[in-house]
A and B are shown apart, each in its own frame.
Chain A
Amino acid sequence: MNDKPLVINDASLSFGSIAVFQHLSLEIDRGEFVAVVGPSGCGKTTLLNLFSQFLKPSAGRVVCSERLRMVYQTDSLFPWQTVSENIVLGLRHLKDQAERERQLGEMLRLIKLESFAEHYPHQLSGGMRQRVELARALIGDSDILLLDEPFSSLDYLTRIRMRNELARMLVQLPRTVVLVTHDIEEAAQLADRIIVLSDRPTRICAEFEVDLPRPRELTHPVVVTTVHKILAELGFEHNGKRVMVSPTA
Chain B
Amino acid sequence: MAVIHGFGEELRSGRMIDDIVASLFRVTTGFGLAVFTGIPVGLWLGNHVRARAAFLPLINFFRSLSPLAWIPFAILWFGIGDLPTVFLIFMASFFPLVLATIAAVANIPSVYFRVARDYGFSNSEMLMNVTLPAIAPQVITALRVTAGLAWLVVVAAEMIAGRAGLGFAIWDARNGLRMDLLVCGMIVIGIIGIVLDRILLQLTKIPSVRWGYER
Interface size for chain B: under 10, 10 to 19, 20 to 34, or 35 or more residues?
20 to 34
The secondary structure that dominates the A interface is: loop
Complex interface residues of chain B between 108 and 149 (CB less than 8 A to chain A):
109, 111-112, 114-115, 118-120, 130, 133-134, 136
A79 within 8 A of B: yes
A15 within 8 A of B: no
Q: Is the CB of B120 within 8 A of A121?
A: no
Q: Is the CB of B211 within 8 A of A120?
A: yes
- Chain A nearest CB from B162 CB (Å) reads 41
Q: Is the CB of A92 within 8 A of B211?
A: no
In Å, the complex CA distance between A150 and B211 comes to 22
Q: Is the CB of A120 within 8 A of B111?
A: no
Chain A neighbourhood of B209, CB < 8 A:
80
Q: Is the CB of A92 within 8 A of B119?
A: yes
Q: Is the CB of A74 within 8 A of B115?
A: no
A72 within 8 A of B: yes
Complex interface residues of chain B between 171 and 215 (CB less than 8 A to chain A):
207-212, 214-215
Q: Is the CB of A74 within 8 A of B210?
A: no
Contact of A78 among B133, B210, B214, B215 (CB under 8 A): B133
Chain A neighbourhood of B136, CB < 8 A:
80
In Å, the complex CA distance between A70 and B119 comes to 10
The secondary structure that dominates the B interface is: helix
A89 within 8 A of B: yes
Q: How many positions in chain A have a CB within 8 Å of any CB in the partner chain? A: 19
Q: Is the CB of A79 within 8 A of B211?
A: yes
Complex interface residues of chain A between 27 and 61 (CB less than 8 A to chain B):
52, 54
- Evaluate whether A122 and B111 lie within 8 angstroms (CB atoms) in the complex, with A70-B118, A80-B136 already known: no
In Å, the complex CA distance between A122 and B207 comes to 11
Residue of A nearest to B209 (CB): A80
Chain B neighbourhood of A81, CB < 8 A:
133, 208
Q: Is the CB of B119 within 8 A of A89?
A: yes
Q: Is the CB of A120 within 8 A of B119?
A: no
Q: Is the CB of A120 within 8 A of B210?
A: yes
New A-B contacts (13) at CB < 8 Å, excluding given A72-B114, A80-B133, A120-B208: A54-B114, A69-B118, A76-B112, A76-B115, A78-B112, A78-B130, A78-B133, A79-B215, A80-B209, A89-B115, A93-B120, A120-B207, A122-B211
A-B contact pairs, 23 of them (CB 8 A): A52-B118, A54-B114, A69-B118, A72-B114, A72-B115, A74-B109, A74-B111, A75-B111, A76-B109, A78-B133, A79-B215, A80-B133, A80-B134, A80-B136, A80-B208, A81-B208, A89-B115, A89-B119, A90-B119, A92-B119, A93-B120, A120-B210, A120-B211
